[in-house]
Structure 1
Amino acid sequence: MTQNAEWQTGSEPAEWTWDEPDPGWHAPCRRLEATGLTSPLDRADLAGIGVTGIQFGSWDGRDPGCLNTDVIGLVDGDTRTEPGQVYRVDGCAYFVRLDARDPLPLADGCVDWAYAEHFIEHLTLAEGIGWLREVRRILAVGGWLRLTTPDLHRYVAGYLDDGADGFFARHRRRLMSLGAKPGDLPERKAFMVNQIFQFHGHKWIYDLDELRHALGAAGFDPDAISVRSFGRSALPHLAALDRAVRNDETMYVDVRRTVTADPRDQ
């Protein structure tokens, strides 16, 4: 896994590593400004800073229309983000440090959309379902969740593919273009399958059926789940958050928060 280099801080890019960042690590940014907003947050709080949605696992997010969140904090010189406080980052986006395994410090129905790219696989299945239940709670009725995650089906198909230029060969080239060295990527099929489970801090890998199970267990309507592709979404601005660097291994799903009642809401 590499740190995202799609925005620049003036520091050198991180070296390639299979490891997830240490939760105590703080990512550098140019400027942090405290907004005075602290959790719990409601719709009026978010509207006051022009935010309509939330993005998870995005310490490096610079989308101005959403509240970026991560367990990883940010640092600007001697200033570090404190959990639960909302910061303006680099003059263009908003961030709050939180742990998505905990109840989300946001009011019911306070956002119109949520986005999580390669995030849910960093949670156990039980944690993932609990997080999805919280996402459903904070989404307004009619709101959308876009969820992307490594596709187990694609990896299994790659294992069974005997072609010389199959998925594993192509994905290996993709990883090397991001900084991996040939020694980091043994040409063994079992290694390529195991790394998606064992490295990066991953805890549960999904195919479509497993993702449908988790979403249904969290209270989402199974009929409101739509399979999408890279750069394609019910809401174009959500698809614009997809990163091309991950599109070869990724499953893309849109889910709408319907009016269907969930007994757990009572």
Structure 2
Amino acid sequence: MKLSIGAGERRIEGFLSVDIDAALHPDIVADIGRPLDLPDASVECLFCEEVISQIAPEACLGFFRECRRILQPGGVVRILTPDLARFTRAYLERPDWLREIWHRHVGLPLLCDTAAEVLNLGLRGVGPFVYDRATLRCLANSAGLVLHESAFNESLHPAMRGLDMRGPEETLTMYLELTVA
């Protein structure tokens, strides 16, 4: 079984969609902040794009523990999530690019059209917690998972190669993968 977690309206061929919002008609309605109703070692891979920031670290640790429980041997969890370090570096070093990304992909009006507005609104809009690698590595290790650096459209699992929606010049995303320790 392959899962697309927090799928929203996006459907990926060969993946079951999982979302908390039943109105989006996912294959599985589930809150990733709670135990998943799936058998142990039943999932080959999980694709999580722009969803981890929707849960606080305590819930993320619980989700990672569930991932470890449901992953088959050799399974992979792919995580694409806003990168706090990249976000803050962009604010300090590339403010015009940050504003451009906001206008192109978010489109909400800015009162003064400044990078400070983008940083503040972006951090609040992403979800309750914007992660960095160190925090995700800590949570993964605590759950018995190993964090691996990845790259746009690359994956340790062939089924997840080429699924990423936006490349590094279009987003503040970090590309990571988790495997069982």
Tell whether the structures are fold-level matches, with TM greater than 0.5: yes
1:175 is matched with: 102
Q: How do 1:10-25 residues align onto structure 2 when only pairs under 5 Å count? A: none
The alignment partner of 1:199 has SS state of: helix
Picking from 252, 262, 266, the partner of 2:175 is 252
Picking from 74, 91, 108, the partner of 2:40 is 108
C-alpha displacement of 1:245: 6.7
Picking from 207, 210, 214, the partner of 2:135 is 210
Picking from 180, 199, 207, the partner of 2:125 is 199
Counterpart contact for 2:98–2:118, Cα < 8 Å: no
Q: Provide the identity percentage.
A: 27
CA distance in 2, matches of 1:149, 1:140: 23
Q: 1:236 to 1:174 in 2, by over 3 A?
A: farther
Q: How do 1:39-78 residues align onto structure 2 when only pairs under 5 Å count? A: 52-74=1-23
2:74 is matched with: 142
Letter in 2 for 1:112: E
Letter in 2 for 1:254: E
4+ residue stretches of structure 1 with deviation over 6 A? none
Q: 1:190 to 1:184 in 2, by over 3 A?
A: closer
CA distance in 1, matches of 2:111, 2:23: 31
Counterpart contact for 2:98–2:115, Cα < 8 Å: no
CA distance in 2, matches of 1:174, 1:129: 30
What is the RMSD of the two structures over their aligned residues, measured on CA atoms?
2.1
CA distance in 1, matches of 2:78, 2:29: 21
Counterpart contact for 1:70–1:99, Cα < 8 Å: yes
Alignment deviations for residues 59-85 of structure 1 (CA, whole Å, 9 cap, x no partner): 21221311111011236xxxxx5xxxx
Q: Which has the larger radius of gyration?
A: 1
CA distance in 2, matches of 1:144, 1:195: 32
Letter in 2 for 1:230: F
C-alpha displacement of 1:147: 0.6
Normalised TM-score (structure 1): 0.62
Unaligned 5+ segments in structure 2 are none
Counterpart contact for 2:91–2:98, Cα < 8 Å: no
CA distance in 2, matches of 1:255, 1:213: 12
Higher RCO, 1 vs 2 (CA within 8 Å, ≥6 residues apart)? 2
Letter in 2 for 1:199: G
CA distance in 1, matches of 2:84, 2:90: 10
The alignment partner of 1:229 has SS state of: coil
Counterpart contact for 2:52–2:81, Cα < 8 Å: yes
Unaligned 5+ segments in structure 1 are 1-51, 76-80, 82-93, 259-266
The alignment partner of 1:55 has SS state of: strand
C-alpha displacement of 1:235: 2.2
C-alpha displacement of 1:95: 1.4
Q: Is residue 240 of structure 1 aligned with residue 162 of structure 2?
A: yes
Letter in 1 for 2:119: V
Q: 1:176 to 1:56 in 2, by over 3 A?
A: same
CA distance in 1, matches of 2:115, 2:104: 20
Normalised TM-score (structure 2): 0.88
Q: Is residue 159 of structure 1 aligned with residue 91 of structure 2?
A: yes
Picking from 87, 96, 113, the partner of 1:187 is 113
CA distance in 1, matches of 2:45, 2:78: 8
